[in-house]
Amino acid sequence: MENGKQVDEKVLHAKNGWGMLLLSVIGIALGIILCILSESIPKTQGGIDILLIAIGVILIIVFAFLLCGLKIVNPNEAIVLTLFGKYYGTIKKEGFFWVNPFSSSFNPAQGALMGLGKKISLKAMTLNNEKQKVNDEEGNPIEIGVVVIWKVVNTARAVFDVDNYVQYISTQCDAAIRQVARQYPYDVSENGDEKSLRGSSVEIAEILRQEIQTRVEIAGIEICEARIAHLAYAPEIAAAMLQRQQASAIIAARQKIVDGAVSMVEMALNKLSENGVVELDEERKAAMVSNLLVVLCGNKDAQPVVNSGSLY
């Protein structure tokens, strides 16, 4: 920040570097020629040789210094320049340019992004946060890891408004994960009318992206995508929660079996009555219903019993 205010990005329209490179080469060559010519001038010419050497050396030094202003910008890269401690501008266009040689490149995150030096990458980058232990809405300890796709959209904010934008986004991702995780349960509740970390992955990912985006807006960073890459109960409660999930699954399966069995018994009784196969009193109907439910709801195959006597 500059005097407590956010720094606005200023795109610098730098000059073409090839023209300045050619001019510098010609100037350095001219200085070398003047130094060589000074050797052929007689010493009695009133110090002309010394003057030529001085001019040649000055030309070499000046044009060699001008070469320091040459900058190469690759696609999807930017260079932030400062001039005597003030923000000078940002080169975002790819190519070969020349800028004020007194200006210097500035990037506080150059150590975190190896291979870029003082250049700033404008590419989409991946932040794979290590899994961390947090508590969900119900207080259950869970392990969660997030993959975030991000890119720099405002180079001035990224460089001047935060100390190190790479470390900053990593820290803010950790804070956002904890904030979102404790707002939702790990799994859907019995009513099934609320979002959960496991059951509503798409919705939770969008909520997480928006939460991170709000936190890193000051750093000129855009969050393209945020996805939960790892989600599990903490080891100390994983076994108990697995038993709970298994019990819930068994109960749900039994409910479906019972509903289906009741429908089949009702259909069987109606078919027997409609077709006049057999007339059953209430007691026999109850016995038949009991037998059918045992057969349909049992875990094992039924063992048939042949009754050769009278029904009554």
Specify the CATH number for the domain of residue 203.
Answer: 3.30.479.30
**Residue 2 in domain:** no
Q: What's the one-letter identity of residue 28?
A: I
Domain carrying residue 254: 244-297
Q: Same structural domain for residues 142 and 218?
A: yes
**Residue 118 in domain:** no
**Residue 112 in domain:** no
Q: Same structural domain for residues 210 and 140?
A: yes
CA distances to 29, 32, 60, 308 from 22, in Å: 11, 15, 14, 114
Q: Same structural domain for residues 140 and 163?
A: yes
Helix, strand, or coil (residue 277): coil
Please give the Cα distance from 68 to 62 (Å, whole number).
10
Residues 6+ apart with CB under 8 A from 171: none
**Residue 290 in domain:** yes
Range with top average pLDDT, 49-63, 149-163, 253-267: 149-163
Which of 233, 262, 279 represents a domain boundary (last residue)? 233
**Would strands 221-233 and 141-152 be described as parallel, antiparallel, or unpaired?**
antiparallel
pLDDT at 135: 83
Over the stretch 6-44, which tens digit does the pLDDT of each residue have? 778 888 888 888 999 999 999 999 988 888 887 776 655
Q: How many CB atoms lie within 10 A of CB 182?
A: 15
159 membership: H or E segment, kind and range:
helix 155-160
pLDDT-derived band of residue 58, with 50, 70 and 90 as boundaries? very high
Q: Same structural domain for residues 158 and 222?
A: yes
Q: What's the one-letter identity of residue 262?
A: V
Residues 6+ apart with CB under 8 A from 241: 140, 186, 233
Q: Same structural domain for residues 82 and 35?
A: yes
Closest CA to 197 of 212, 208, 209, 187: 187
**Residue 8 in domain:** no
Q: What's the one-letter identity of residue 42?
A: P
**Residue 31 in domain:** yes
Tell me, what DSSP letter sits at residue 1?
-
Over the stretch 144-169, which tens digit does the pLDDT of each residue have? 889 999 999 999 999 988 888 988 99
pLDDT at 215: 92
Q: Same structural domain for residues 28 and 82?
A: yes
**Would strands 15-16 and 95-98 be described as parallel, antiparallel, or unpaired?**
antiparallel
Q: Same structural domain for residues 77 and 133?
A: no
Over the stretch 79-108, which tens digit does the pLDDT of each residue have? 999 999 899 999 998 999 999 999 988 888
**Residue 239 in domain:** no
pLDDT-derived band of residue 61, with 50, 70 and 90 as boundaries? very high
Q: Where are the beta strands (DSSP E) in 74-211?
A: 77-83, 86-91, 95-98, 104-105, 120-121, 125-128, 132-135, 141-152
Domain total for the chain? 3
Residue 1 has pLDDT above 60, yes or no: no
Q: Same structural domain for residues 156 and 99?
A: no
